[in-house]
Structure 1
Amino acid sequence: MPVRHGLLALLSTGPRHGYQLRIEFEASTGATWPLNIGQVYTTLSRLERDGLVKPGESDEQGRVVYMITEAGREETARWFSTPVVHSDRPRDELVIKLAMAVAARNVDVAEVIHRQRTATMRALQQLTMAKRAATAGAAQRLVLDSMIFQAEAEQRWLDHCEAVLEEER
């Protein structure tokens, strides 16, 4: 639940209204995971329901400012102290696609790999340019570095897939 915990982490440094949370979340992640303002307020409602945040006074523009509760601080500390395990991550669509392409037997798997490699290279180039142009701090750089490393790992995995399929021929 990265949005839920991300908002709690931001609130742990001080009260904010939804728009501020959206802007700071996007800035912290290098705008790689844009948030819909509706998603922010829906998440805040759930956090309030769960006793992790509470609404405070409205600001001069009538926006409700939210504050983290003690239970919210405990939840944030638990999140930061708990490693992310692979089974907690969503299924990898590319892995599923290639496995199904091989199983289907009537799909040109080499073409599927080629198209993915091209798309991944394009994404890698865009991420590298974004990293060069980035002016934000360490948080944005870490996010971009992670995405670059993931794209590089995907390229290596695609190479491996080609080698395995070549062995099977």
Structure 2
Amino acid sequence: MSVKNALLALLEQGPMYGYQLRAEFERRTGATWPLNVGQVYTTLTRLERDGLVVAAGADEGGHVHYALTEAGHEEARSWFTTPVSRSQPPRDELAIKLALAVTVSGVDVAAVIQQQRVATMGALQDYTRLKRTAPDQQDVGDLAWSLVLDSLVFAAEAEIRWLDHTEARVRRAALARPAGTPQPAPASRPAKQVRR
């Protein structure tokens, strides 16, 4: 997630100071990805340096409000209209863990999968419970949180399907290996580019 772009998008609403930006971000995303207020102010400093925001005065509490420059407006619009790149997938700790588990002797891969499945099912139940208790979405902030919640539900469902698929593939691989044959170490291969 780009904190920079999220702050620019929020500043499209008008000038705000760091704590307001943090609170707005967390309100709109249901605090799914909490922001450290120090990170917000560090990012604002970089945005100001890059000519995307300017200090627009301070309120009676001494809070410096930041406003978008024309370049900042352009950057925010560009972010909204540019698809999220899938050419460099984010590191997925679970995929890495399972890729290594099938190559390290002594690891009970089925147990790793089952423990993760139980944890993911628990998270999915929590997300579903949150959806049932979510407000009517009359407010734009409620709609924003609901969309984030939908994303979390779909990601958890996809993870469970992937775990089922992985478990089936590991079982098939074990059945195809003659009894008593140790699991071979994978040959070193050049990195593959992921195309989507």
Class of the TM-score when normalised by the shorter of the 2 chains:
over 0.9
Paired position in structure 2 for 1:41? 41
Aligned pair count?
Answer: 169
Q: Whose radius of gyration is greater, 1 or 2? A: 2
Match of 1:140 among 129, 145, 149: 145
Shift of 1:134: 2.3
**2:90 partner letter:** P
User: Does 2:54 match 1:54?
Assistant: yes
3-state DSSP of counterpart to 1:138: helix
Q: Which residue number in structure 1 is paired with residue 164 of structure 2?
A: 159
User: Which position in structure 2 is the counterpart of 1:100?
Assistant: 100
Inter-partner Cα distance in structure 1 for 2:89 and 2:96? 14
Q: Secondary structure at the match of 1:67?
A: strand
Higher percent of residues as helix? 1
Please give the per-residue CA displacement for 1:22-43, whole angstroms capped at 9, x wherever unaligned: 1100011111111111111011
Q: Secondary structure at the match of 1:16?
A: coil
Q: Quick one: distance in 2 between partners of 1:26 and 1:112?
A: 33
Provide the TM-score with structure 2 as the length reference.
Answer: 0.83
Higher mean displacement: 150-159 or 73-82: 73-82
Structure 1 moving runs of 4+ over 6 Å: none
- Distance in 2 between residues matched to 1:109 and 1:69, nearest whole Å: 53
Residue pairs, 1:1-169, within 5 angstroms: 1-135=1-135, 136-169=141-174
CA RMSD of aligned residues (A): 1.1
Unaligned runs of 5+ in 2: 136-140, 175-196
CA gap 1:89/1:59 in 2 versus in 1, 3 angstroms = farther
Structure 2 distance, partners of 1:89, 1:143, is 19
Q: What is the SS of the residue equivalent to 2:103? A: helix
Structure 2 residue matching 1:9: 3-state secondary structure: helix
Identity within the alignment, %: 62
Gaps of 5+ in 1: none
State which drifts further: 77-86 or 126-135: 126-135
* Aligned partner letter, 2:16: R
**CA apart distance, 1:69:** 0.6
Q: Which moved more, 1:24-33 or 1:80-89?
A: 80-89
| Paired letter, 1:11 | L
